[in-house]
A and B are shown apart, each in its own frame.
Chain A
């Protein structure tokens, strides 16, 4: 398999060094940019597989870089933000970013995020459900047409809302979906009550999907941000 190409956008040299060194030692190819306009240019000319984007760039807002890239490409974008303010991450995710990392992050965390993004590219049928009437992820199987979901061959008893949520997450597997995005899709509104409802539904849905303590994690909760369906490796388990 071809070694994936990663575009690293980071203006701070030590952090860039850390990232590029990590990538090099883990067999990734990379290009880097120090500011926003270079980042857009590099993204256009190299068409990288994954973008690691720092939000605090000297020349332009990182969110604008995401918007520019999204005009022509759906390449996974992982945002790196220094502050733990949720607003910034949510803005970036709503602008089209797939995932985020908060500084300080560990090398292991960075690599894990890159792997998640990679699986998103490689997974079959990561897009529209119309082309793929059946979605599979590990032991989870969703039959969109029949309107039912199975876990390891056994049908899951889901309420209509839970099924809708599951489909939404599955269609965007690998991406972190913000609360606003989900509530808008499910209820068409995003009042406080919707978000509170969403949290309860997600908690129950997760309980139904992840029955045993050894079952892989399908849905990841990002406190204050949103939820994501993780791609689960078919046989091998990963932490």
Chain B
């Protein structure tokens, strides 16, 4: 036990972070070497940020090459989405049981204590329990880095933004002229310009327009409203200070506004995502089985991402036909897709990796296929249409979260099923031991009587008169009959309560089954009036005939046992729209309401006052009920008029195409 535990903890899982940096190849190769030395699992993680969309073709190719190197070395390639790279790495590492992280460090030279900690520092902070191996970047990275900087900065405002900025500045200037005419002070005009910059920041994207607007507003103010007018010079000694404060104020206002805007957008997005996930979560919780969970997942995703999806259920590694979804509605049930799509699906199923559109495998497929799995166990394959282009970071994070929820729900289901089975097993175990105890006690009585009576006959046979001999012999026979009936019931019980109910279902004519059962009624029944009323038309019902005969025999024998001699017992059959029913009615004393439910309990025998009630295991009715329920029917007890009781049970009717 200890050994396996320690072995498990020794299992290393190395995570290497991919990037488009030229030095990343060295990092990946180092990680591969480490993995082979430790004999450990290797995962290559790429965190996709919104900025990665703007990656140059060169960078993209380099990233692809690095990914291939990792993949060829047997690494699992994982892409996550998010803006906070260290947080993403840390989260993945925690969830996947990573033990070592290999990451490159940007060799930025001696840098002033910066107010934001570097990526590596933050990562170490976030995952204190994981070894972080840092590989320094070579010098070449500086050029790369600078290039990337400039790329980031090239946020050119759109024409629309420029027009808005220009319009707002013009409006501010116009208002400024008005103010001057009314003789308001310059401070009012400055406020108008500040308002203009604020509006610009709110109405345009990015910082650019806000900053440009700030400068322009200072210049415009200087040009139009300070002495001398219509020149960029200013006579007043206080003006340079005014301009500086105005510039600082407007830049600050602008940045704050656009930050606020970004924040609002982010929180709105988060709220939307949270709501979606909450809804999905609730729906998944309510799902009854695995296939429903898969269908809900696919339906929610199509609704959320507004694209088509298809989901294939996988049971024990075997793919079943898929269901296609569009806008939350299921389109077709037995979706199969063409051969190319199916090849991609099957590849995903066997390799447990994403395939199809947008990946390297089957890239010309129409869908992107992802396995829905936990560990090695695959529950299904989800395909999302790539016709609308690759999903962006938000969509991707939604996709990942919903898939995560889906897997969680599926796992919960599987665990619940396991627990349920264990409970049933335990219950069966208890029943079985109760049964054994009860049987071993009850078997002794008839066996004692059989062997004792036989002994008497062998030893003292000569001394007994014919009548005594006969009564001893008929006792032996009765006991043997009773044992036979018991054995039949026990056999049925083992078949029913073995957990896997091995019903041999076939379509039988109900009256044939009744007729057969009537031949197995106890001899004691000869003193009762037993009538069988046949149905007008032959009724076919799906059943295990042996077990059903047992049910009828038990019910009739019960009626015989618990009613006076000469009572009437009627066995009849009939049908409703979709059910066949068999009814066993007697005109005996009936069963009081308080006991009606208890008669179906195991080992309940009632207080039998009629005839010789010496033995009853109290197995008959519970067994009947479990047999009938295993057939999808129900066994109910009601009162007969004017007295007595009626046991009625239903069976699913089967329609048959007669082969004329």
Contact = CB atoms under 8 A, between A and B. Distances in A.
A223 B538 contact: no
B659 A194 contact: yes
B511 interface: yes
A192 B660 contact: no
Interface string A110-146: 0000000000000000000000000000000000000
Contacts of A195: 506-507
B513 A201 contact: no
A203 interface: yes
B506 A192 contact: yes
A187 interface: yes
Nearest to B538: A203
Interface in B477-512: 480, 484, 488, 491, 504, 506-509, 511-512
Contact of B515 (A197, A221, A224): A221
Nearest to B523: A106
A211 to B, nearest CB: 13
Nearest to A109: B519
Given A104-B480, A194-B659, A223-B513, A200 B508 contact: no
A224 B546 contact: yes
Nearest to A199: B509
Interface of B: 480, 484, 488, 491, 504, 506-509, 511-513, 515-516, 538, 540, 545-546, 549, 654, 656-660
A71 interface: no
Contacts of A196: 506-507, 540, 654, 656
B273 to A, nearest CB: 52
Contact of A203 (B511, B549, B657): B511
Contact of A193 (B491, B656, B660): B656
Interface string A200-239: 1111100000000000000001011000000000000000
Contact of B549 (A187, A192, A197, A223): A223
A197 B657 CA distance: 7
A223 B658 contact: no
A159 interface: yes
Interface residues of A, number: 22
Given A200-B540, A224-B545, A192 B507 contact: yes
28 contacts: A86-B546, A161-B659, A161-B660, A187-B659, A192-B507, A193-B657, A193-B659, A196-B506, A196-B540, A196-B656, A197-B656, A197-B657, A197-B659, A199-B507, A199-B508, A199-B512, A199-B540, A200-B538, A200-B540, A200-B658, A203-B538, A204-B538, A221-B509, A221-B512, A221-B516, A223-B512, A223-B545, A224-B506
Given A159-B660, A193-B657, A223 B484 contact: no
Interface in A49-107: 84, 86, 104
A202 B511 CA distance: 12
Nearest to A222: B516
A187 B659 CA distance: 8
A122 to B, nearest CB: 26
A201 B512 CA distance: 12
Would you call the interface of chain A mostly helix, strand, loop, or mixed?
A: helix
Contacts of A202: 509
Nearest to A84: B546
A113 to B, nearest CB: 14
Contact of B509 (A160, A193, A203): A203
Contacts of B549: 223
B512 A104 contact: no
A106 to B, nearest CB: 9
A225 to B, nearest CB: 10
A200 B509 contact: yes
Question: Which has the most chain A C-beta neighbours within 10 Å: B506, B657, B660?
Answer: B506
A193 B511 CA distance: 19
A104 B520 CA distance: 12
A203 B657 CA distance: 15
B180 to A, nearest CB: 99
A201 B538 CA distance: 9
Contacts of B660: 159-161
B432 to A, nearest CB: 21
Interface string A173-194: 0000000000000010000111
Nearest to A104: B484
Contacts of B509: 199-200, 202-203, 221
Contacts of B507: 192, 195-196, 199
Contacts of B513: 223
Query: Lowest 8 A-B CB distances belong to which pairs?
Result: A203-B538, A196-B507, A196-B656, A223-B516, A221-B512, A203-B509, A223-B545, A197-B659
A223 B513 CA distance: 7
Contact of A223 (B488, B508, B540, B656): B508
A69 to B, nearest CB: 29
A161 B658 CA distance: 10
Nearest to B483: A104
Nearest to A191: B659
A23 B50 CA distance: 96
Contacts of A197: 656-659
Contacts of A194: 659
Given A104-B480, A223-B516, A224-B545, A200 B656 contact: yes
Contacts of B515: 221
A200 B660 CA distance: 11
Contacts of B508: 199, 223
Contacts of B491: 84
A189 B515 CA distance: 28
Contacts of B540: 196, 199-200
A107 to B, nearest CB: 11
* Most chain A beta-carbon neighbours within 10 Å: one of B480, B507, B540, B660: B507
B145 to A, nearest CB: 74
Contacts of A104: 480, 484
User: Among B491, B512, B546, which residue has the most Cβ atoms of chain A within 10 A?
Assistant: B512
B536 to A, nearest CB: 10
A195 B656 CA distance: 10
A203 to B, nearest CB: 4
A154 to B, nearest CB: 22
A204 to B, nearest CB: 6
Contacts of A193: 656-657, 659
Given A196-B540, A223-B549, 11 more contacts: A84-B491, A104-B484, A161-B659, A194-B659, A196-B654, A197-B657, A199-B512, A200-B656, A203-B509, A203-B512, A204-B538
A206 to B, nearest CB: 9
A84 B484 CA distance: 12
Contacts of A201: 658
B443 to A, nearest CB: 16
Contacts of B538: 199-200, 203-204
B53 to A, nearest CB: 60
A124 B57 CA distance: 98
Interface in A9-56: none
